[in-house]
Amino acid sequence: MKKIFILTGEPSGDKLASKVISQLKNSKPDIEYLSVGGENLKSLGIKSLYDLKEVTYLGFTKVLLNIFQIKSKINQTVKEILKFKPDILFSVDSPDFTLRVAKEVKKKDPSIKTVHFVAPQVWVWREHRVKKLKSFLDHILLLFPFEKKYFDKEGIKSTFIGHPLLEEHGKGKIDVSQIIKDNKKIFSIYPGSRLTEINTLIPILFKFVKMMNEKYKDIFFVFHSTVEHVQLIQNLLLKEGFKNCGAIGDEKIKSHILKSSIFAVAKSGTISLEICNAKIPSIIIYKMGIINFLIVKMLVKVKYANIINIAAKEEIIPELLQSNCNPNNIFKNVEKLLNDNTALQSQISKTQNIIKNFKTENSSKIANSVLIHYLEN
């Protein structure tokens, strides 16, 4: 029996991996799997070596503070992968963890094929990393078409597959009125999937919601979370005494809630693509520790944080970062857009023009064809 080890480092990678693997399991049911994964891979019946939160670190200072624990986890993971003896190590995103593991695995057992999904963002920073990847990666699966030139230049095999989260699968409709009562308008909020992000952004977002409640009486705010952190957010909402807020962690319900929303405020990241794909207007927020911010500022070579804005070379979606990420600014930007339907429609139209370039007919099918190629050769 053929074997694949799936290696992720955070919830967004787990979600992407599950999109690809769920389709592979349907077409090739005779493959054995093991992983470092989260709730999405678990729902496919794939065992994880340990809890994903054990390797989910945010920011340079967090990494430095946990450096020995991270090294220990890398060594443990390498050991377990070699013991499992997979035909393919399928690593997804989180390059500072997954690629370190892949490098060690390839060094110790060159017969294991290494396929990485979500290329390191060399177009944002540390372009020199590309050369090093050639020594231990057999193939890279790309989310965005403009990435390919960086890997072609170094002779690294790569395939643009598009973004699985932009695919429409015709899921059955859920009547959100059964969840959101009193015919209130839905406003989606994404405070992040990591505990560090939640702890930083929740106090800011709660103050923003209070400001919104003073002016708008017909809105219900839904905080989109992970299964792991949904109870924490629910408890915080109860503590604040919010009557028009809720938290949700179920992936299927979350997508329906988003599609029924009038607006979204989201932490910068992959979720922005899903919001744009649902044709929901939004703004992006982000805040990190000052030391992390100064390091990033020195290294990053792009003007914007959001992939839509980077690709467009203009700020289509407002970005409120660092000191600009505060309740007043969020409220002002949201109110401005809610009161200007022309601006709202312009944002939606422009984002659709950008994300159509990130789509393929079936990204998971393309990814599967690459994985099957390495399984059979």
The pLDDT of 110-119, averaged and rounded, is: 96
Q: Pick one of 2.102.10.10, 3.40.50.2000, 3.90.1150.10, 1.10.472.10 as the CATH number of 2-167+360-376.
A: 3.40.50.2000
Domain residue limits, the chain = 2-167+360-376, 176-358
Give the pLDDT score at 176.
61
Residue percentage of the chain with pLDDT more than 70: 87
* Coil, helix or strand at residue 12: helix
Query: Exposure string (b/e) for 335-344, b if CB count within 10 Å is 16 or more?
Result: eebbeeeeeb
Contact of 358 with 162, CB cutoff 8 Å: yes
How confident is the model over 141-195, as pLDDT tens digits? 999 998 898 899 889 999 999 988 887 655 555 556 656 666 789 999 999 988 8
**How would residue 295 be classed by pLDDT, with cut points 50, 70 and 90?**
low
Give the pLDDT score at 182.
67
CATH architecture for the domain at 176-358: 3-Layer(aba) Sandwich (3.40)
Give the pLDDT score at 70.
77
Whether 268 shows a pLDDT value over 80: the answer reads yes
**Which of the 8 DSSP states describes residue 201?**
H
Give the pLDDT score at 165.
82
Taking CA 275 as the corner, what is the angle to CA 353 and CA 236, rounded to the nearest 5 degrees?
160
Count of CB atoms situated within 10 Å of the CB of 73: 20
**How would residue 59 be classed by pLDDT, with cut points 50, 70 and 90?**
very low
How confident is the model over 327-355, as pLDDT tens digits? 999 999 999 999 999 999 999 999 999 99
- Angstrom CA distances, 138 to 78, 93, 96, 170, 354, stand at 17, 16, 18, 34, 30
Query: Would 2-167+360-376 and 176-358 be classified into the same CATH topology?
Result: yes
